[in-house]
Amino acid sequence: MSLDRDFIENLIIQDICGTIAPSDKAVLKDAIDNNPELWLLQQAMMRKLQTSEVQEARRQLRESFTAQDIIREERRRRRTRTIRRSGAIAAVAGVIAFFSAKYISFHSSSDTEQVMVIAAGNEPKQVVLQLPDGRKIALDTIQEKLNVGHVAISTQSSTLSYQSTNTNNKERATLIVPPGKDYKIHLNDGTEIHLNSGTRLIFPLQFLDDSREVTIDGEAYVKVAPQPDQPFIVHLSQATVQVLGTEFNVNTYSGGVQKIALVNGAVKIKTKIDSLVLKPGMEAVTTVDGVKADTFDASEVLAWREGKYYINDATLEEVSSVLTRWYGKTVVIDNKETGRQRFTGLIDKSQKIEVTLDGLKLTNRIDYYTDEDGVIHIK
Determine the Cα–Cα distance for residues 317 and 332; give it in Å rounded to an integer.
Answer: 8
**3-state SS, one letter per residue, for 256-310:** CCEEEEEEECCEEEECCCCEEEECCCEEEEEECCEEEEEECCHHHHCHHHHCEEE
Q: Which residues of 258-278 are buried (b: 16+ CB within 10 A; e: fewer)?
A: bbbbbbebebbbebeeeebeb
Each residue's pLDDT tens digit, 48-76: 544 555 545 544 544 444 445 555 555 55
- Compute, in degrees rounded to 10, the torsion defined by CA atoms 76, 79, 84, 86: 50
CA angle 320, 323, 325 (to 5 degrees): 110
Fold classification of 307-378 (topology level)? Phage tail protein beta-alpha-beta fold (3.55.50)
Classify strands 247-251 and 258-264 as parallel, antiparallel or unpaired: antiparallel
Fold classification of 209-298 (topology level)? Jelly Rolls (2.60.120)
Determine the Cα–Cα distance for residues 41 and 159; give it in Å rounded to an integer.
Answer: 27
Q: For residues 103 and 168, which has the higher predicted lDDT (pLDDT)?
A: 168
Each residue's pLDDT tens digit, 250-302: 999 887 889 999 999 989 998 888 889 999 999 999 988 889 999 999 999 99
Q: How many C-beta neighbours within 10 Å does residue 68 have? A: 11
Tell me if 311 sits within 8 A of 356, measured CB to CB.
Answer: no
> What is the domain partition of the chain in residue ranges?
5-96, 101-206, 209-298, 307-378
pLDDT band at residue 343 using 50, 70 and 90 as cut-offs: confident
Each residue's pLDDT tens digit, 206-265: 888 888 999 999 999 999 998 888 899 999 988 899 987 789 999 998 878 899 999 999
Each residue's pLDDT tens digit, 1-32: 556 677 787 788 777 766 777 777 888 888 87
